[in-house]
A and B are shown apart, each in its own frame.
Chain A
């Protein structure tokens, strides 16, 4: 890992299109500004990891789940929807 020391207001340039700037430092909190092309995806790591984890649970083998079982959900769902529409 490349480690660089930066002061408040200083930046790092990544490639041609991405700039990362230290906006402020307050104790153990660092506010970072990122300038990147609109098509670049930027996420907090813990948010992204939470989604990965949730997807892995959602995609895990669901041995007990059958189509018949899923159809049983139609009744409570319908009730719930009706409740909200009214």
Chain B
């Protein structure tokens, strides 16, 4: 049986119960949001993580595609919480903040979304003792290119 939730991005999302990922503790800032569906946005690098309860979604990317050197260890408490036993069960995403102008958009590398694809449990991991940024610019390379061609534009810090 399919269910529906209205969405300012998709208009409406139709989903079945066996697509729903359960976030037992919600995510930081949204402790009450415990159920999400994931929708890849075709022809884009984004996946939307959409609440099943209301019009609320997060845009995610695969951080390893953008930052090949990105790495972290999933701590025991998280492996336990999500019942992760094998690497193949795991998918990782990072939360994007779109900003104006778009090339200033950032991604949060301190708190990856971790899901167990097998039992469809998820959580947002908060990394401790990390040098990664909660506001890592996505377009580092692109910005450098822009800087080179528009050297006259003053640095806005």
Contact = CB atoms under 8 A, between A and B. Distances in A.
A29 B19 CA distance: 47
Contacts of B98: 62, 65
Interface in B51-93: 55-59, 65-66, 68, 75-77, 80-81
B30 A59 contact: yes
B128 interface: yes
Contacts of B9: 62, 65-67
Contacts of B80: 38-39
B45 interface: yes
Contacts, number: 105
B126 A74 contact: no
B128 A81 contact: no
A78 to B, nearest CB: 9
Interface residues of B, number: 42
A40 B25 CA distance: 13
B77 A50 contact: no
Contact of B43 (A54, A65, A74): A74
Contact of A77 (B45, B55, B58): B45
A52 interface: yes
Given A58-B58, A62-B8, A51 B97 contact: no
B141 interface: yes
Nearest to A53: B29
Interface of A: 38-44, 47-48, 50-59, 61-63, 65-67, 70-71, 73-74, 76-77, 79-81, 83-84
13 contacts: A43-B126, A48-B126, A51-B111, A52-B28, A53-B29, A55-B111, A55-B124, A58-B59, A58-B97, A63-B8, A70-B59, A74-B44, A80-B139
